[in-house]
Structure 1
Amino acid sequence: MSQLSQLAVAQQPLTGVARAGSEEADPILAAAEIYRALAPCEPACVVFYCCTRYPLALLSRELTRYFDGITVIGCTSAGEITPLGFRKHSISAFGLSQHLFSVESVLIENLTTFTSDDSDSVVSCMLDNLRKKAVTPTPIEKHCFALSLLDGLSVKEELVINALSTSLHEIPLVGGSAGDDQHFVDTQVYYGGEFYSDAAVIMLVNTVCRFEVFSQHHLAPQHEKLVVTQVSPDLRVVQEFNAEPAALEYCRINNLKLEDLNSRTFALHPLAVQIGDHSYIRSIQQVNDDLSLTFFCAIDSGVVLTKMTSPGLLSHTSMIFNWLEESVGEIQLLIGFDCIHRRAEIDQFELEADMSKLYREHNVIGFSTYGEQINGLHLNHTFTGVAIGYPNDPLYPTLSGA
């Protein structure tokens, strides 16, 4: 048993959740480690995130074999957050106990054709099914959140998330876009024993536990601005800023050379749309041969982008955890969707050990995403997720965190 698996098993008390991870390259061994760590909590569902180096068909077969009859969803990733903290080329996973959670999930295929009517139908059906097995009294909506996993190269996140958020009404939605280790070729979600492209998985979670859905970024605005003057919005490709080639203008305001542009450069020199007192990051995915720039999020003509800077990722993330603990008390699980551009900053400034320690201490399980979702918004460069505490109900004395 690997160090990661030993830690995961050793840290599973009698709680409503279990956390797991494996760095085994063999999917047969990796799935076995995940099962050993999660099975003791008697999960109602299992959620996993895996690197694309695994032979996905074989991994799917093994997970189906171990978790037969249990809801299992997941996606490919661009780095994982395990019980040890940040890892690459691994699998991270968590299970939610059937004693404290009930779930209902659905696969959405052909994202291009997904409509608001489809969304209303999907959400209504999920809620009807969830009410029949809910662990909380009615109305169950006050005790639910929704998790979303989407194909990170579909360019349809905004369409799907906007529709679902509207249909969910007061139920908060949180999630992430699948990755592929920054190859930008093939990102997939997992449902019902198979991996899918051009698809999304949505899971409604009903729980007696306290929880808090959140989304935060650590960046601060500067004075330099870029105006989008030519764009292909359906492709998220900007050809011009300020009526000049987009890549050259981006280099100008950041004191960069064209040959400097790469994934890490984009992570360390972010841009944002400012609306009132709020900044919404618009991360760049890549530079193209015609000097245009492809973005991870929606972008349109006339949008003004502001240069941003990082005053300190580690201290800001620590503040997020302090705030979440004030809200839910002790955190037994934090489902985290962490942008790949945050990971690039962590690597650049050698913060992995400190950030991993912080994530271990707060029981974070998650992955590095190609985008994050919160309610009706698709975002970049954020730490987004849901913190799950313990129940308030005295019927669960062993789960009170005391």
Structure 2
Amino acid sequence: MLPNLLINCEADKIKPCQGVFMLSHSIQHAVNDTFAPAVARAGSESLDPVVAAKEIYTSLAECEATCVVFYCCTRYPLEQLSKELSRYFGDITVIGCTSAGEITPLGCRKHSISAFALSKQHFSVETALIENLATFSETDADELVSGMLENLRKRTVSAGPIEQHCFGLTLLDGLSIREELVINALNLSLQDIPLVGGSAGDDQHFVDTQVFCNGRFYSHAAVFMLVNTSCQFEVFSYHHLAPEEEKLVVTQTAPGQRVVEEFNAEPAALEYCRINGLKLEELSSEVFAMNPLAVQIGDQLYIRSIQQVNDDLSLTFFCAIDAGIVLTRMQSSGLHAHTAMVLNELQQRLGNIDLLIGFDCIHRRAEIDKLDLCESMSSLYRDHHMIGFNTYGEQINGLHLNHTFTGVAIGAPHRSQP
């Protein structure tokens, strides 16, 4: 079995199932001859924010939503998109972020917007904007999580201890270099409540990534949502990479910058090229995606993806990286086959997946494009009702990761037993 990280959180007492709305039609489960959607999915490929917002609203309208979450490319005029979404959804909680590729009801897409809605019958949410990532502390996290849980207890949709029926979701500025500190603080405060999320992208321009909350977009910020549900769910994180023999020792870094200046006491880019049999002029985002590195912690391998090569032959990474660590060269074991296995196992455990909230690394997307896997991966994502985006980093509990397929699989609410 390839290295993976898995957290299983299943509700043991579930409210009656009433239905699932997806795309332009409903998958419905009858209860007392009534129908109501539990979750909804939507997407639009129009870059006109007026048209896109209307198409998203129309597809989600049948769901009596307590919240809407969206992911959009940076080609949209973001201020106008904000106004249109606010106009359509009114008082409904709406959060989101910019992306580096989207996963819509049609599958893998670029230059589009994807979204999902959670119904108020089966979900209750509390949302917070964290504006100053630089000063966010464990004390701030304790106060924030405590207050949000207290509010959720007043309107829980689940039976039993609320902590057993909750998960946290984070969307963070993907260029903030603060993900590790923020999610670690939140994870400590959440204790046994699982935390999952993704770092916003900007279509690989690496200039400006933004999150959306309270009717507008923000840079250098994060959105944290705590979700209480009567549905079964499973939080997961996997990668499809296997280790090779070659190693690199990080011998010099630029502190706090995610920049490695030297491997093995040599210029980082040159050593990276050496172990991969590459020329310096060949280095690109696609090449980094196809030639990943990982650090071993215990018996797990965690990917440390490279963002770019710099003029001084240093390498900028997507995750924090320190001097002294040893990186292992990794190789794909088959992205499509591994993802199919993961999704099939999730479906076996949950019965049905009515919504899969996915955070799929931009380097996985690069491999999909390079190997012409877009149609086959899109088919997998469609079959498992996935909505998501290609990220600059993925979060699971207190870890900030790269090159993973991470998310939350949500099962259909169960019918009441007679």
Shorter chain as denominator, the TM-score bin is over 0.9
- Tell me by how many angstroms 1:8 deviates: 1.4
Aligned partner letter, 2:411? G
CA–CA separation in structure 2 for the residues paired with 1:328 and 1:375: 21
CA contact (8 A) 2:22 2:40 kept: no
- Which residue of the partner structure matches residue 389 of structure 1? 411
CA–CA separation in structure 2 for the residues paired with 1:347 and 1:207: 35
CA–CA separation in structure 1 for the residues paired with 2:327 and 2:173: 26
2:187 to 165, 168, 178: 165
- Which residue of the partner structure matches residue 296 of structure 2? 274
| Counterpart mapping for 1:338-353 below 5 A | 338-353=360-375
CA contact (8 A) 1:233 1:298 kept: no
CA contact (8 A) 2:395 2:406 kept: yes
Matched, 1:8 2:29: no
Aligned partner letter, 1:140? I
> Bigger shift: 137-146 or 160-169?
137-146
- Which residue of the partner structure matches residue 3 of structure 1? none
Aligned partner letter, 1:102? S
Aligned partner letter, 2:194? P
CA contact (8 A) 1:340 1:381 kept: yes
- Which residue of the partner structure matches residue 191 of structure 1? 213
CA–CA separation in structure 1 for the residues paired with 2:87 and 2:369: 36
- Which residue of the partner structure matches residue 272 of structure 2? 250
| Counterpart mapping for 1:287-366 below 5 A | 287-366=309-388
1:204 to 221, 226, 230: 226
Aligned partner letter, 2:400? H
- Tell me by how many angstroms 1:115 deviates: 0.5
CA–CA separation in structure 2 for the residues paired with 1:380 and 1:12: 34
CA–CA separation in structure 2 for the residues paired with 1:187 and 1:377: 20
Aligned partner letter, 1:137? A
1:81 to 86, 103, 109: 103
- Tell me by how many angstroms 1:276 deviates: 2.9
| Runs of 4 or more above 3 Å deviation | 11-15
Instruction: State the percentage of identical aligned residues.
Output: 71
> Bigger shift: 132-141 or 144-153?
132-141
CA–CA separation in structure 1 for the residues paired with 2:42 and 2:322: 41
Richer in helix (by share): 1
CA contact (8 A) 1:337 1:372 kept: yes
Q: How many residues align?
A: 391
- Tell me by how many angstroms 1:15 deviates: 3.3
CA contact (8 A) 1:23 1:91 kept: yes
Aligned-partner SS, 1:390: coil
CA contact (8 A) 1:12 1:18 kept: no
CA–CA separation in structure 1 for the residues paired with 2:70 and 2:305: 25
CA–CA separation in structure 1 for the residues paired with 2:40 and 2:363: 28
CA–CA separation in structure 2 for the residues paired with 1:233 and 1:206: 39
- Tell me by how many angstroms 1:393 deviates: 4.6
CA contact (8 A) 2:159 2:230 kept: no
- Which residue of the partner structure matches residue 145 of structure 2? 123
Superposition RMSD in Å: 1.3
CA–CA separation in structure 1 for the residues paired with 2:22 and 2:368: 23
TM (normalized to structure 2)? 0.92
- Tell me by how many angstroms 1:291 deviates: 0.2
- Which residue of the partner structure matches residue 62 of structure 1? 84
Aligned partner letter, 2:198? G
Aligned-partner SS, 1:378: strand
Matched, 1:177 2:192: no
Q: Do the aligned partners of residues 116 and 67 (structure 1) sit closer, same or farther apart at CA in structure 2, a change above 3 Å counting?
A: same
Matched, 1:225 2:247: yes
Could you tell me which runs of 5 or more consecutive residues in structure 1 were left unpaired when the two chains were aligned.
Answer: 1-5, 398-402
